[in-house]
A and B are shown apart, each in its own frame.
Chain A
Amino acid sequence: MREGADLIVIGGGLMGLWTAVLAARDGRRVRLLEAETIGRHASSASAGGVRSLNRHPAEIPLARAALPLWREAARDLGADVGYVASGQIRVAEDEAGLARLEDRAAATRALGYTHEEIVGANALFALEPALAPHCLGALVVRDDGFADPLRTIHALSRAAHAAGVIVEEGRRVIGLAAGSPLIVVTESGEFTAPLVVNAAGAWGNAIAALVGETVPVTPTALQMSVTEPVAPFVAAVLGTESGMLSLKQSAAGHVVIGGGFAGHVDAAHRIGRPRPTLVSENLANAARLFPHLDAARIVRTWAGLEGITRDGLPVISPSRKVSGLIHAFGFSAHGFALSPLVARLVMEIADARPPSAPITPFGVDRFQPASEERRYA
């Protein structure tokens, strides 16, 4: 006995949940199949950055189009997602770094975008007075921000229930068969739908492989640390040209520190673990920008599993092999900001409507050997 739906979402992370909500609100009967529990991996381990700053050129239009959706998210979902239009800042700590940021700003302008802005030391310290005095300037996007990943997941989870999505945890997909409708096989039952969305995150390539589509994805474990609450000292999300760092302060005062350091991946147990030496390096980067953080206590570190594609760009694409299957995975450590827009793009593909941002660079069949590929953090 196979249970039917209008649309099946594989994966209960941000991409899958947001897609399920949109689809159900369109009047579709939606079933979401999650292998473990909602938001278990990259989604809840995310730093929550809503960033168009320093994006790969192909992702800039998506990141810009996603911003208004974040501003609307709380009203749209009927629950706080902790979104703050804080701005994002990438500081230069030396002349060479400042020169790189100026080149970057010029290149972005040449593409016709105006959101990235170079600021000098005075303007930078006016924005963030607590910054260490050696900082020389920065690349700034004033209307970027951040949100709270846990609140976002729970808001989406509630919105999904309210929209009538059937959310099933502990349903690992092990088979996918073409046809009309498509057949999705789990370890405990089969389901059918004319539309299936692969939002399986770090395991999205395994789902794609079920229908013979090969996407090079490396699982990685992105490290994060958080301090106990400290007095407010920073407004924006801070990064630097001199080392990997993403730093922000929550409304409650916790300082969340990440930046792309990769921990241990235990693929068999589907868990990640921080590497102490890299946690240490990450924290040293934070204390270089804000020396007073030396006296803050670290209360928790973690590493969530995430899939990095070979070119560091996601797959947002109809399947080239199976009609009715749509891929949205491999967000390579910068998917959080895009998630509300990705749900729209997926539904536009499903309905054969024109996409609200260009998705040609994210085709599932783009991975040719020896192409020029670079990862943007």
Chain B
Amino acid sequence: MKAVDVLIVGAGPAGLSAAAVTGAAGLSTLVIDEQAAPGGQIWRAAEAVGADPVRHAALGSSYRGAMAAIAIARQHARFATESEVVDVSPDRDVLWFDKTARTLHQTRARAILVATGAMERPVPFPGWTLPGVTGVGALQIALKQGGMVPDGPVVLAGQGPLLLLVAQQLAAFGVPIAATLDVASAFPSRTALGALPGAIGADPGLVAKGAALAARRFLSGSAYRDIRDLEAVGAGRIEAVRFRAAGETVTIPTTRLAVHDGVIPNTQLTRLLGLAHRWIDGQAAFAPQVDADGLSSRENVWVAGDGAGIGGAERAAAQGAATARAICRALGTIPAAGDAPRGTGARTFVDRLYAPLPVSHFAADDTLLCRCESVTFGDVRRVIADGATGPNRVKTATRCGMGPCQGRICGANLTRLVAEETGRAPRDVGALRIRPPLKPLLLADYATLAATDSA
């Protein structure tokens, strides 16, 4: 088995800045990332975007600091791109799969940094699994990855800063937006406004940028507010979106609907590792419990960036570096000096302004919760009424979460639905147990480990 000092999972802002620190301090550092190039979600395909004037003009503002961070990290660490973590043992033996070479590797790490970032919160509503319906984040990935522009007008629905940003980016690519369907009413809530002064104090530029984006959407003429009963309709793929606004039912023909309700920490790996998690009320999501340095409940397993609680790219980069310095000290090396991450900035305001919708906000009883195994909200409600007490009992009774996505898409929503149905707090309800492999793997690829790694 090969060995490294530090194994970092995720090459986004947190992972990159951490790799630069541990690598520069002389610790052998391996960064594993699923994508073809470093950058993570926010800086996805940064090097390619930098070389493409069209994409750079439309998306450039998201990429501030990316090129430098990638260049420095490349100097100090080894990158395994197009590679996925399959399993990690409690003593930090990492099983990972190189998708290009199609080989399984086992690497023993003295320290693991989980920097797996955020994922878009899945929003179930009638018709949400029809082809043509995606998350807003998924739409943005297509733009970043290859400048893949939707071939027709797009309807955007939901709420959150990413929705506003992507609306602007689509416009820059010349994509018409048929309508934006905002779940919020025209005016921010009192609790959100209460956090506004703090946000302006912490990050005035961000607040101003957000306000400008929001104003542009609101004044664009195709904006609906306070929408209810969202539904995608169509046979075989989406043909129209239907919803209620201002007391009337509105139907808009479209072949593309992108929905958004914020992002949540990606906890698949931290759950697989069996780390202790905490529930973040304002983000309606679990995140691993970490101390001020980013150390988890397991020895020498660290978490930094959005995967430890949503804080945005800038904060993730600072956290990555700070956690990496703590890792250096834990492994007996002296890191270069650096600043501690600043406070949470405008996050509280953003969390309150775009308070997550209840999980069943749009969902009917026959709406799918688990798309892999076709389990509906009603199926889950029935087994809860039958005595199922938590997500794992629901899982064994309905197969919810047992499909190829391993509960990645339904897991967080299942916790919230069980909480809603049983009147308990999500933190007490708990989460699905995650089993290896983190992502499906061909049997032939799994079966080669004994042959190639018998040492």
Answer yes or no: A371 CB below 8 A from chain B CBs.
Answer: no
Find B436's partner among A150, A158, A274 (CB 8 Å cutoff): A274
Answer yes or no: B338 CB below 8 A from chain A CBs.
Answer: no
| Separation of A166 and B336 alpha carbons in the complex (Å) | 62
Closest-CB distance, B396 to chain A (whole angstroms): 5
Query: A277-B450, A301-B435, A302-B435 given as contacts; is B393 within 8 A of A37 (CB)?
Result: yes
The segment out of A60-68, A115-123, A291-299, A348-356 that lies at the interface is A291-299
Answer yes or no: B90 CB below 8 A from chain A CBs.
Answer: yes
CB of A287 within 8 A of CB of B447, answer yes
CB of A283 within 8 A of CB of B387, answer no
Query: A37-B389, A37-B392, A157-B387 given as contacts; is B444 within 8 A of A276 (CB)?
Result: no
CB of B450 within 8 A of CB of A280, answer yes
Query: A39-B396, A277-B450 given as contacts; is B436 within 8 A of A228 (CB)?
Result: no
Find B446's partner among A158, A228, A283 (CB 8 Å cutoff): A283
| Separation of A154 and B395 alpha carbons in the complex (Å) | 11
Query: A228-B404, A266-B90, A273-B89 given as contacts; is B443 within 8 A of A295 (CB)?
Result: yes
Could you mark each residue 20-37 of chain A with 1 if its beta carbon is under 8 Å from any beta carbon of chain B, else 0?
A: 000000000000000001
Closest-CB distance, A326 to chain B (whole angstroms): 27
Query: A154-B396, A276-B86, A277-B449 given as contacts; is B274 within 8 A of A296 (CB)?
Result: no
Q: Residues of A contacting B299 with CB < 8 Å? A: none
Q: Residues of A contacting B406 with CB < 8 Å? A: 299-300
Q: Residues of A contacting B451 with CB < 8 Å? A: 280, 284
CB of B86 within 8 A of CB of A294, answer no
| Separation of A293 and B437 alpha carbons in the complex (Å) | 17
CB of A298 within 8 A of CB of B397, answer no
Instruction: List the A residue with the shortest CB-CB distance to B392.
Output: A37
Find B443's partner among A161, A269, A286 (CB 8 Å cutoff): A286
Find B435's partner among A153, A264, A266, A300 (CB 8 Å cutoff): A300
Q: Which of chain B's residues 369-387 have a Cβ closer than 8 Å to chain A? A: 386-387
CB of A277 within 8 A of CB of B453, answer yes
Find B448's partner among A157, A274, A280 (CB 8 Å cutoff): A280
Answer yes or no: B282 CB below 8 A from chain A CBs.
Answer: no
Q: Residues of B contacting A301 with CB < 8 Å? A: 435-437
| Separation of A266 and B444 alpha carbons in the complex (Å) | 29
| Separation of A169 and B390 alpha carbons in the complex (Å) | 12
Closest-CB distance, B114 to chain A (whole angstroms): 18
Answer yes or no: B402 CB below 8 A from chain A CBs.
Answer: yes
| Separation of A264 and B91 alpha carbons in the complex (Å) | 12
Q: Which of B86, B441, B444 has the most CB of A within 10 A?
A: B444
Interface size on A, residues (CB 8 A): 39
CB of A298 within 8 A of CB of B442, answer yes
| Separation of A279 and B435 alpha carbons in the complex (Å) | 13
Closest-CB distance, B191 to chain A (whole angstroms): 36
| Separation of A264 and B282 alpha carbons in the complex (Å) | 38
Q: Which of chain A's residues 66-98 have a Cβ closer than 8 Å to chain B? A: none
Could you mark each residue 217-238 of chain A with 1 if its beta carbon is under 8 Å from any beta carbon of chain B, else 0?
A: 0000000010110000000000
| Separation of A227 and B86 alpha carbons in the complex (Å) | 15
CB of B449 within 8 A of CB of A298, answer no
CB of A283 within 8 A of CB of B447, answer yes
CB of A276 within 8 A of CB of B435, answer no
Answer yes or no: B26 CB below 8 A from chain A CBs.
Answer: no
Q: Which of chain B's residues 422-439 have a Cβ closer than 8 Å to chain A? A: 435-437
Q: Residues of B contacting A286 with CB < 8 Å? A: 443, 447
Q: Which of A227, A281, A286, A297 has the most CB of B within 10 A?
A: A297
Answer yes or no: A205 CB below 8 A from chain B CBs.
Answer: no
Could you mark each residue 388-412 of chain B with 1 if its beta carbon is under 8 Å from any beta carbon of chain A, else 0?
A: 0110110011010011101000000
CB of B450 within 8 A of CB of A153, answer no
Q: Which of chain A's residues 32-56 have a Cβ closer than 8 Å to chain B? A: 37-39, 44
CB of A298 within 8 A of CB of B450, answer no
CB of B446 within 8 A of CB of A299, answer no
CB of A158 within 8 A of CB of B87, answer no
| Separation of A299 and B372 alpha carbons in the complex (Å) | 11
Q: Residues of B contacting A281 with CB < 8 Å? A: 450
Query: A157-B387, A280-B447, A287-B447 given as contacts; is B396 within 8 A of A296 (CB)?
Result: no
| Separation of A31 and B58 alpha carbons in the complex (Å) | 67
CB of B444 within 8 A of CB of A295, answer yes
Could you mark each residue 147-159 of chain A with 1 if its beta carbon is under 8 Å from any beta carbon of chain B, else 0?
A: 0001001100110
CB of B402 within 8 A of CB of A161, answer no
CB of A300 within 8 A of CB of B402, answer yes
- Can you list 27 A-B contacts (CB < 8 A)? A39-B396, A44-B396, A150-B399, A169-B389, A273-B89, A274-B436, A276-B86, A277-B449, A280-B446, A280-B451, A281-B450, A283-B446, A284-B447, A284-B451, A287-B444, A294-B442, A294-B447, A295-B444, A298-B437, A298-B440, A298-B443, A298-B446, A299-B402, A300-B402, A300-B437, A301-B435, A301-B437
